[in-house]
Structure 1
Amino acid sequence: MLIPPTAIHEFPEDIFTKEQRKNGAVLLHALCAIYMFYALAIVCDDYFVPSLEKISENLQLSEDVAGATFMAAGSSAPELFTSLIGVFITKGDVGVGTIVGSAVFNILVIIGLSGIFAGQTVVLTWWSLFRDSSYYILSVLALIMVIYDDRVFW
């Protein structure tokens, strides 16, 4: 019986040895991560949000529609790139769990925190919750039906 390699061996090797990481090189990883988060915040604040505002103005979209489409695409970008890394770099099976898990996070946590920090009472109708939940359930069921037999083809 052939034992598959563990998932950690699917990623590229680290530039530092284990001994170098023990002696403090892991701090360089942490500093790099902090720098990348800071750079991401600058890019989002200075370029992403203003460009979405211009696109919404030119397309004459309401704030609700723009938020539901463009900001949803922006919040789903992490799972897109995680899936791309999983498919093209590690050749692993991280895509489905990442996408479904991230969608649940987006639905529950982001919307919940937005409601908590809104600073005012947010009036919602039953229809929007029912509509969004129904489409999400249908999309997850369609995904399950497609990948049920571990074969995906056109």
Structure 2
Amino acid sequence: MNIQLPFQVGDTISYTKTISESDVYLFAGITGDFSQMHMNEEFMKNTPYKTRIAHGVLVFALGSTASTLIQVQARSEMPSVSYGYDRLRFTNPVFFGDTLTAHYTIIQIDEENLKSYAKVEVYNQKGELCVVAQHILKFFTVDK
């Protein structure tokens, strides 16, 4: 059975969002992560950052949005799930009010195992890389 995945190497999409204080507080409420790094402005004044920072996982989640958007862009009818992320790194802090752009680029297709691999990069408005990872999507055939 020869099944072709809906992507080609080099396919890409971007997603942009400004991170607000509300985003951080809502994320803290959902996850239960109320670290001083995210919640306590006075505490953070005494750190190298000088102000609160967004959760790394919140920033990283923008890459997941891009993953969904690239499937919409490809008009993919094949169901897929996230198979995981490799080499995830938080390379720069994200501050409240930063505008982030997540770039999602297909770097490898494994048609035998029905997987695609993508480079995920999230940059701030200054062009600084804040998050990097490799994402794996696992596709499934549909019985008709």
TM-score by length of 1: 0.29
Looking at CA atoms only, which structure, 1 or 2, has the larger radius of gyration? Answer: 1
Higher relative contact order (CA 8 A, sep 6+): 2
Structure with bigger strand share is 2
- Higher share in helix: 1
Calculate the TM-score normalised by the size of structure 2.
0.30
